[in-house]
Amino acid sequence: MIVDDFLGLMFVGGLVGTVIGLVPLEFLPGWALRQWHRGVWAALFALASSGVVDLLLLNHHRQHASSRSSIVTTVVLFVLFAGGSVVFREHFIRMRRAATDAPQGFLAKFRELISPAPPAIATPAPAPPVADAPAS
């Protein structure tokens, strides 16, 4: 029974982790996949999302048809997790904005959330020191 629960936990955790990883935010792998090919990203995201919905919500709901509390609990926990994730990210974004004197406001925050990471600014390498010519 312990092995069965452990394997079920690993499968569900992997499936949920895949869905979260495929969300197209710049700091998740789903962003790079979506930039590469939107069709592939959409197919993988739809497949993983349908697996989560079918496995966690619908299948569990079929087994306990008389109880709606499991779906309500799942939705409430999902909303709490999503809210906590946004607050956690916002904390670090606010710290970065304060350190770089970036513009504040809702539109600036929204643009930063959906835009790709800024490209690194290439600085030219310093010229090697010129050795003095030996005196003859």
Quote the pLDDT of residue 60: 57
- Supply the pTM of this predicted model: 0.49
Backbone φ, ψ for residue 101 (5° rounding): 55, 40
Long-range contact list for 55-61, CB < 8 A, 24+ apart? Answer: 55/12, 55/15, 56/12, 56/16
Q: What is the DSSP letter of 101?
A: T
Do 22 and 44 meet the contact criterion of CB atoms below 8 Å apart?
Answer: yes
Domain ranges of the chain: 1-65, 67-113
pLDDT tens column, 34-55: 899 999 999 999 999 888 888 7
Q: What is the DSSP letter of 17?
A: H
pLDDT tens column, 4-40: 889 988 988 899 899 999 988 888 888 899 899 999 9
